[in-house]
Every structure is written in structure tokens, then in C-alpha cells.
Amino acid sequence: MINPKELIDKVTVEEFIETAEKYYHVVSDPTPLMSKPFAFMHEAPEMLQNMGLLLSGLHLGKTMTVLDFGAGTCWLSRYLNQLQCRTISCDVSETALEIGKDLFKKYPIIGNLVAEPVFLHFTGHQLELPDKSIDRIVCFDALHHIPNLAEVFRELARVLKNGGIAGFSEPGRNHSQTPQSQYEMKNHKALENDINVDEIFSIAQKAGFTDFSCKVLCNMELSLNQYDLLFKEEDKKVLKDDIWNNIHDTMFNRNIFFLYKGKFIPDSRSHIGLAHSIEIKKENYSVKRGRKLKLSFKISNTGEAKWLNTGLANIGIVRLASHLYDSDKNLISVDFSRDDLPKSVMPGETISHKIFLELPGRGSYRLVFDMVSDGVTWFENVGSKPVYITVHVT
């Protein structure tokens, strides 16, 4: 049995990179590599499950800059672009990145890109990226190929912003002992390392990461009778051992984990943690036709997410907005007004804000005020209560 640690001692980083480049260079038809996670029927269910859990734990937001580390043919970068993230596809194989460029060219995403994808060749030692320039790092089945983990984690921590998250989907703690791994290490000098998350976090902490979490993985099917037992307090103990054993077996062979650099604070590029409290002095107003109505608000960020007032393509900018109805509560305009806030607003912070509105003409109107994160969501849709006023135009 080949021990991956012994292989690391014998083979240089540059030789491992050469192996990766040869792997992609000899591929005559890259279609299966480009079509992941839908390349093979037997792999697709597990890959999709892992991909979903990985994306969930990253707490992504639109326009975030995501480093796809060990991107290979950039298939995951393409889906991140579909989610309106700005991607940097990074790999040690220049051939793999060329395939990735071809993937984007031949199969563009649906709709418009918020930013053109970036392709970055990695030397195995340094990332040609500025300090604290990346919102999220994603690594899908690539970490176990890296021999110089301490050096790489220092670079990942350097480029990740404070409050950022790095997410990994990797094989288990005995990965190197599988027949396929032994074959790859014996015949191709490919590193198929074991992934022990305790060792990983110890290395990552020294590099600057501060916390760790992982997803619980279970791949268990239940009969209808077993399903019913889940909701019967007196009987559900029967299932506990079976569920625990399935979790153990699944997580023995697969790790989905996250490293944090400082405290994670969500922001308004995602719907996560958005909440407000809006106060206005009175409920009824009068104004003469042709004159603007002056309104004063006290707005509190009662959620967990930072409200941004600038952003790429204006996505994620939080504004005070309104819907306009007639006196019979018939909708006239769902997006009647949007007003910029003077600054970004942190969780727990309260600001005063004034706006000026001109109504369409004489009559009585109902205005509903809510906060909106542009391109993301209205706050009412995630649980906040809007405020209502009536305006009489004479």
C-alpha cells in the first residue's frame, strides 16, 4: 500500500503539477469533464447532493467574488456565474483552464453575467491576487491532491476577506486506501491524500482561519412506517441507531466542511438575515397637487445582515421603497419609489431618513413602505412588516 505522506516526501510540488497537466493534456474528448455534475448517471446524485450542501454552507450572495480553487474545467464556476457570482477559476493545469474557457464560450449561462469570469493559473505556491480580495472560496474534490497544505492555506487565508468562508467537499479519512486511489498514486504519481478534518483545521488555524463547521451527511431511505416513527416521540428511539450508523458510514467517506476567517456577518447580497423596523410619525397626510410630499422615517436594521449602499451592478443595495395603491387598495405601481440610504447600515443600527414624493394627481392614495435589496428581495417577503400611510392630494 502506498502511503500518501511518503509520496509527498518523494515528489515535488512541481512534479505533482506536471501530473495534473498531463492528465488534462491527453484528454481527447473533454465533454465528460465539462458536463459535471451530469457527466455520469451513477455519479450525479451524490455530486448534486454534495454541491447543494456546499453551496448552502457558503452563504453565497449575488455579485460575491468567489475563488473556485482547483477548478479543473471550471464546471462549478459556470454554475456560480449562473447564480450571479463573480468567479475566479484557479487551477494548476493551464490545459484545464483552457477547457474551462471553451466551456463558457460554447455553453454560456442563461441571462447576463454580472462580471466576466476570470481564469487564474496557480503555480502551486502563490496566488496572484490581492490581500483580502475574495468573499468566498470553494474547493470541490481538489484539496486531497495538494501536497503543501500549510503553504496553500496561508495563501487562501491571505486573499480571503475578514468574515469570509472557505468551503470544501472532499473524500474521507481513508481515501488513500481505496483501490482507485492506490492505482492513481502507483501509476500516475497523482496524490490521493486522506482528509482528516482535525489535521486540516490545525493547519488552517496556523494560517489565519478561526473556526470550523461541517455538514451532517446522511444517505438513508425510510419506509413509510419508519418515516411515521420520526414524528412519534415514544417510538422514534427505534430509528436512532440506524440513522446514526448511516451518518457514520456516509461521513467516513465524504467531508463537506467550512473554514471561517473571523466572524461571519451576512450582507444584503443575500436574503439571509434581512429584517427591518420602520417608523413614521403619522398615518394620514395631505398635500396640494404638484407639490412634493415630505416624509421622515426612523429605520432600524433589526436583522443579522449588513445593509450595503454600494455594489456591483447595483445588486444587493438596500433602499427604502414603496408600493402605490388607490383609495380602494387597488395596486397602481408595485415599484413606485426607491430612495438610496446615506450609508451602509450595520445590524442593530438605526438611522433617520427623509424622502420627497410626488403623487400622480388629485385623490386619495395608500402608500406602503418597505425596504428592498435590489436584485435580491423585498424585506416583506422574508418576514418584515411594511408601514402604511394614506395621502390626500387636493
CATH, residue 26: 3.40.50.150
DSSP string covering 105-149, please?
A: HHSPPSS--SS--EEEE--SS---S-TT-EEEEEEES-GGG-S-H
Do residues 34 and 152 both lie within one domain?
A: yes
pLDDT, position 187: 87
Same domain, 255 and 333: no
- 269 domain-assigned: no
Query: How far is the C-alpha of 170 from the C-alpha of 110, rounded, in Å?
Result: 29
- Tell me the CATH number at 321: 2.60.40.10
Task: Confirm whether 270 is domain-assigned.
Answer: no
Q: Are 74 and 17 members of one domain?
A: yes
- In this structure, of 111-115, 117-121, 174-178, 207-211, the range with the lowest mean pLDDT score is 111-115
| Structural domain contains residue 173 | yes
Residue finishing a domain among 260, 285, 313: 260
The residue range of the domain holding 107 is 4-260
- pTM confidence score: 0.92
Nearest Cα to Cα of residue 285 among 338, 341, 355, 372: 355
Instruction: List the one residue out of 35, 3, 39 whose CA is nearest residue 99.
Output: 35
- Euclidean distance between CA atoms 85 and 62, whole angstroms: 5
| Confidence at residue 233, expressed as pLDDT on a 0 to 100 scale | 73
Q: Are residues 241 and 336 in the same domain?
A: no
**pLDDT tens per residue across span 47-73:** 999 999 999 999 999 999 999 999 999
Q: What is the CA radius of gyration of the chain?
A: 26
Residues 248 and 280 in one domain: no
What does the pLDDT read at residue 31? 95
Same domain flag for 292 and 243: no
d(CA 244, CA 388) in angstroms, rounded, equals 51
Q: How many domains does the chain have?
A: 2
My answer on whether 193 and 119 are in the same domain is yes
